[in-house]
Amino acid sequence: MGDPLVLEMVREEERRASRTADFTSDTNEQSLSSRETSFLISEDATPAKRYNLFLMRRLMFKKDKQSKDSIFFRDGIRQIDFVLSYVDEIKKEAEIKAERRKEFEQNLRKTGLELEIEDKMNSEDGKTYFVKIHAPWEVLVTYAEVLGMKMPIKESDSLPPEKLPFTCMLGPLKLARGLKNPHPEYYTAQFTRHRQELFLIDDQSSFFPSSSRNRIVYYILSRCPFGIEDGKKKFGIERLLTSHTYSSAYPLHDGQYWKPSEPPNPVNERYTLFQNWARFSYFYKEQPLDLIRKYYGEKIGMYFVFLGFYTEMLFLAAVVGLACFIYGLFSMNSSPTSIEICDPEIGGQIIMCPLCDVVCDYWRLNSTCMASKFSYLFDNESTVFFAIFMGIWVTLFLEFWKQRQARLEYEWDLVDFEEEQQQLQLRPEFEAMCKHRKMNPVTKEMEPHMPLQSRIPWYFLSGATVTLWMSLVIACMVAVIVYRLSVFAIFASFMETEASLKQVKSFLTPQITTALSGSCLNFIVILILNFFYEKISAWITKMEIPRTYQEYESSLTLKMFLFQFVNFYSSCFYVAFFKGKFVGYPGEYTYLFNVWRSEECDPAGCLIELTTQLTIIMTGKQIFGNIQEAIYPLVLNWWRRRKARTNSEKLYSRWEQDHDLETFGSLGLFYEYLETVIQFGFVTLFVASFPLAPLLALLNNIIEIRVDAWKLTTQYRRPVAAKAHSIGVWQDILYAMAVLSVASNAFIVAYTSDIIPRLVYYYAYSTNATEPFQGYVSNSLSIFLVADLPNNTAPSEKRDFTTCRYRDYRYPPDHEHKYFHNMQFWHVLAAKMTFIVVMEHIVFLVKFLLAWMIPDVPKDVLERIKREKLMTVKIIHDFELKKLRENLLVDSNEFTKEVILRENKVQLAN
């Protein structure tokens, strides 16, 4: 149905008189009137003179009642559905491009589209041509049938879903009913031009929403041929954009976002969206999802539904996480571990072994008093509860999202959705590289084909590149570890000798200082690597020559997610599961590259360092991402208008205003989903170490929704509407991360947190019945004989200490198995493994039960789907029956008239 002669065949079949495009063609190709051309800008005019002439010409347009914000052709009747732009070039390929454009535009007219060309001298820069495209009714009804669009046939009689209890309390968060549900609910059916009377067509100009109109036009543009080159039929606007035959192709916004449209323009939905969705003062309001879907299409609408639902579900996790944090805040001063560490008679008397070789001195345990209290904020009894809660929360989130998605499929007529043709269409790059053709078993047509052996080298290159970059991430992480090991000794000696730092030493220990600086450095490295990898991954994916746009996006998704997973999470995994686990003991420490001594955890555990790492990376990424999303398009648009000598949208036409905006791009949503999924990983994979992570994500998402809405409404061209019935492959990634999060949080509680060793001491080794945790700190520190320290690692200054302590469970120097792991070490290890197995089984059991209990499609939605199918069949049956009766009645009347006429003729003959 994408052939240019489709509409001509339809017209011939239906024998209708159609509107011809002769007037349009003549108008497009003829020169401007003398009154307009008298104000044309000379190519050689100076910038100041050109700008003055530009303003004069705009005033003349005002006299001609050509509104600068008009979205119609010059006749003020035909609405502009799409705009193409191009610039004349003085190059070898200029003639070829001009011929392509001529052929392409002729074929567009053959499909029934109407074109109107704005000469370059009418543009602000005096160089750009604009081709305005209008789809008349005949084209719309034909391709609405081709695309299987569902349109309303009768207002639904289904009762609205019952309101939940306490819904009235959410009144301030709700939008006005006219914004939330701008149209009543209808029964719908796939549109067919032969049954137009069946559909509720009150006004042909507004029956198809603007998103459907631009989707239809883009479908035609993407399949329209523009010539034969190298013996191959070339077609599609994407190929013309790639070859720079056209510089841009975009649908128009309804009008300016800061004011409503003036008649005769239709209702400015862009202004409505800006007022009720894109303003930051509406951060607490729900989103006008139906209006978003109507204006931008289902694909973009689905993203904002998902982001909004995810944000709503984060509220519960944020409240529970905040409660756990408050519990830790109020109980940190009563922590038995912190009390012992801070007690001058206990922690003040415990001499700890040096934290680095030669430079570091012996130190007293109570110097980490404040750090131990901070550690207890996140490493307390509520940690286990919150880890289990988040394992259940993530299941509820995914199961309820499936229900929300099913409800959305019904409400947005996506129940019988089929993949968009644009996503399955062959990419121009694939066709250009193919030298072979193969019969398509479905269409029975010859299509470009690339043998597997031709792709294998590129697959190997792609895999090698991704592996190389992931290895580079690991190498950078190791470099940061080396940095931490190198500066730790410097921080330790400097803070020990510098008198001015005595006040901050109580809470800013060398370990914390090193962790903070290392985390900031690691975050900067992450951003740099991410910037370069985005460019390289896009290039590598193109080199693989994916067949369709869907294959291209899937391949890019895999590469980007794998890299960002390693890039953002590798340092957190290191701190959680490796740091301090393979240190050794004094005299037998392990060394990185035989040079730097392995890092040790704080006596209170490594959890506070994991919390620090997670906070800096997660918060930094969210702040940087929001600033980048808001500032980047704003600066680009400002610079583009500055080059045009005006930074205002008030002086030039609607299509030029949109032309100067940034392009959203086919991968715009891809990066939005990727950002959200990476954040989801921070919230779920390491949440046991940082219960405030859901709260930070909640606050970020509240801002993110409005930033995305603002930039889409004000800074970007209107994207081409597209359909989508789900969030696609991202849903599978979320499920995989949900399963991984259960294991990672179980390991964090067992191996990074200090909870299990405390519980083992409480139940197996405590000798004090009234205060069972008394003596835990001393019990968790092993004894080392100072005399056993090798000379090349011992501090340069001699001390009168005979022993020092270090964090581990080993036999003392007077034992026959001195410095070997004691029995308590194995008890603790067994308890950790048991905890992991028990926690995982409990959480997974609850997850499976919840998944089984919560249906994927709510019962009321199933009933409404069945009801709609039944009513649709009934309505169509009644319509066809009525039509048949009318035809039979007409035939009967004609037969009766014929009989009477013949009888009269016989009587006259006699």
Q: 331-342: per-residue pLDDT in tens? A: 888 888 888 888
How confident is the model over 537-571, as pLDDT tens digits? 888 887 777 777 778 888 888 888 988 898 899 88
Comparing 434 with 395, the larger pLDDT belongs to 395
Q: What is the pLDDT of residue 66?
A: 53
Q: Distance between CA atoms of 762 and 768, rounded to whole angstroms?
A: 9
Q: What is the pLDDT of residue 38?
A: 27
- The two beta strands, 150-155 and 225-229, are unpaired
Give Cα 539 distance to the centre of its chain.
20
Q: Distance between CA atoms of 849 and 720, rounded to whole angstroms?
A: 42
Q: Distance between CA atoms of 513 and 488, rounded to whole angstroms?
A: 8
Residue 662, classed as helix, strand or coil, is strand
How confident is the model over 254-282, as pLDDT tens digits? 888 888 877 767 788 999 999 999 998 88
Q: Residues for the chain: how many in total?
A: 910
Contact at 8 Å (CB) between 680 and 313?
no
**Inter-CA distances, 426 with 232, 391, 551, 582, 742, Å:** 14, 42, 10, 53, 41
Contact at 8 Å (CB) between 644 and 125?
yes
pLDDT value at 850 more than 50: yes
* Closest by CA position to 575, among listed 493, 505, 511, 506: 511
**Residues paired with 286 in a beta bridge:** none
Could you tell me the two tokens for 511? 């370990």
Please name the amino acid found at residue 474. Answer: I
Comparing 174 with 839, the larger pLDDT belongs to 839
pLDDT value at 895 more than 60: yes
Q: Distance between CA atoms of 377 and 753, rounded to whole angstroms?
A: 12
* Closest by CA position to 385, among listed 310, 323, 338: 323
**Inter-CA distances, 279 with 181, 304, 501, 624, Å:** 20, 15, 46, 20
Q: Distance between CA atoms of 76 and 805, rounded to whole angstroms?
A: 87
For residues 798-828, b (16+ Cβ closer than 10 Å) or e, as one string?
A: eeeeeebbbbbbbbebeeeeebebbebbebb
Give Cα 24 distance to the centre of its chain.
42
Contact at 8 Å (CB) between 389 and 710?
no
**Cis omega (within 30 of 0) for bond into 264:** yes
Q: What is the pLDDT of residue 94?
A: 84
- Mean pLDDT, rounded, of the chain: 82
Max distance between CA atoms of the chain, in angstroms, equals 149
pLDDT value at 68 more than 90: no
Contact at 8 Å (CB) between 237 and 221?
yes
Give Cα 243 distance to the centre of its chain.
29
Residues in Cβ contact with 576 at an 8 Å cutoff, skipping those fewer than 6 apart: 606, 610, 686, 689, 744, 747, 748, 751, 752
Could you tell me the two tokens for 44? 């050689």
Q: Distance between CA atoms of 699 and 405, rounded to whole angstroms?
A: 24
Q: Write phi, then psi, for 643 (nearest 5 degrees).
A: -65, -30
**Residues paired with 86 in a beta bridge:** 129
Q: What is the pLDDT of residue 315?
A: 95
Contact at 8 Å (CB) between 451 and 544?
no
Which pTM was predicted? 0.84
Q: Distance between CA atoms of 215 and 297, rounded to whole angstroms?
A: 9
Contact at 8 Å (CB) between 522 and 613?
yes
How confident is the model over 120-151, as pLDDT tens digits? 888 877 888 999 999 999 999 999 988 888 89
Q: What is the pLDDT of residue 113?
A: 94
**Inter-CA distances, 81 with 86, 135, 211, 299, 303, Å:** 17, 7, 9, 19, 24
pLDDT value at 167 more than 50: yes
- The two beta strands, 363-364 and 351-352, are antiparallel
Q: What is the pLDDT of residue 323?
A: 94
pLDDT value at 32 more than 70: no
Mean pLDDT, residues 877-895: 79
Give Cα 89 distance to the centre of its chain.
37
How confident is the model over 653-694, as pLDDT tens digits? 889 889 889 898 878 888 899 999 999 999 999 988 899 999
Q: What is the pLDDT of residue 63?
A: 36
E strands within 358-482? 363-364, 436-439, 446-449
Question: Which range among 170-179, 187-196, 608-617, 860-869 shows the weakest confidence by mean pLDDT?
Answer: 170-179
Q: What percent of the chain has pLDDT over 90?
A: 28
Give Cα 810 distance to the centre of its chain.
50
- Alpha carbons within 13 A on the beta-carbon side of 754: 29
pLDDT value at 253 more than 80: yes
Contact at 8 Å (CB) between 530 and 564?
yes
How confident is the model over 341-354, as pLDDT tens digits? 889 999 889 998 88
